């Protein structure tokens, strides 16, 4: 599968390879470097100054670290189950792209991790 990551108006093609076993963490191949989804999440957490353990636990709870998961009758997409009706600026193809989704989620997580139901379940947060 080939996807593109947007940088301004320039698109850089990237090859994404997903492990065939749906129970296995996905493997991303980029520029001959192979990274697991866990590594992508840890690196993003470090870059954005967010709690690595909680960020990873949220993704595990939301998708079992499977980038192609679609839930909520097709409304929630990808690793972090981005709820498209709540985020109309997010395209399905971006939500399914692990690199894009992790970056998007890290930015949102830094502002308010309670937008994820799993975060609230894991850490006992009640939203009113």
- Token pair of 23, please? 């129970």
Q: Where are the domains of the chain?
A: 2-123
Nearest CA-CA partner of 115 in 42, 46, 62, 38: 62
The pair of structure tokens assigned to 76 is 């929630």
Write phi, then psi, for 115 (nearest 5 degrees). Answer: -70, -15
- pLDDT tens profile 75-101: 999 999 999 999 999 999 999 999 999
Could you tell me the pLDDT band of residue 15, with boundaries at 50, 70 and 90?
very low
Beta strand 27-30 pairing with 10-15: unpaired
Quick one: how many helices (H) and strands (E) in the chain?
5, 7
Which position has the higher pLDDT, 20 or 30? 30
CATH fold for the domain made of 2-123? Lysozyme (1.10.530)
Separation between Cα atoms, residue 89 and residue 116, nearest integer Å: 17
What's the whole-model pTM score?
Answer: 0.73
CA distance 81 to 101: 9
Closest by CA position to 71, among listed 61, 82, 56, 85: 82
CA pair distance 27, 10, nearest whole angstrom = 25
What pLDDT is stored for residue 31 in this prediction?
53
């Amino acid at each position: 599968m080939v996807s593109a990551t947007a940088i301004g108006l320039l698109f850089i093609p990237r090859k994404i390879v997903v492990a065939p076993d749906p129970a296995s963490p996905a493997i991303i191949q980029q520029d001959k470097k192979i990274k697991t989804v866990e590594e992508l999440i840890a690196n993003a957490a470090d870059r954005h100054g967010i709690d690595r353990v909680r960020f990873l636990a949220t993704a595990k709870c939301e998708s079992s670290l499977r980038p192609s998961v679609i839930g909520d009758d097709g409304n929630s997409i990808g690793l972090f189950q981005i709820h498209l009706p709540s985020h109309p600026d997010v395209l399905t193809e971006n939500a399914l792209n692990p690199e894009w989704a992790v970056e998007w989620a890290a930015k949102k997580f830094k502002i308010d991790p309670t937008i994820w139901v799993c975060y609230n379940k894991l850490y006992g947060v009640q939203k009113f």
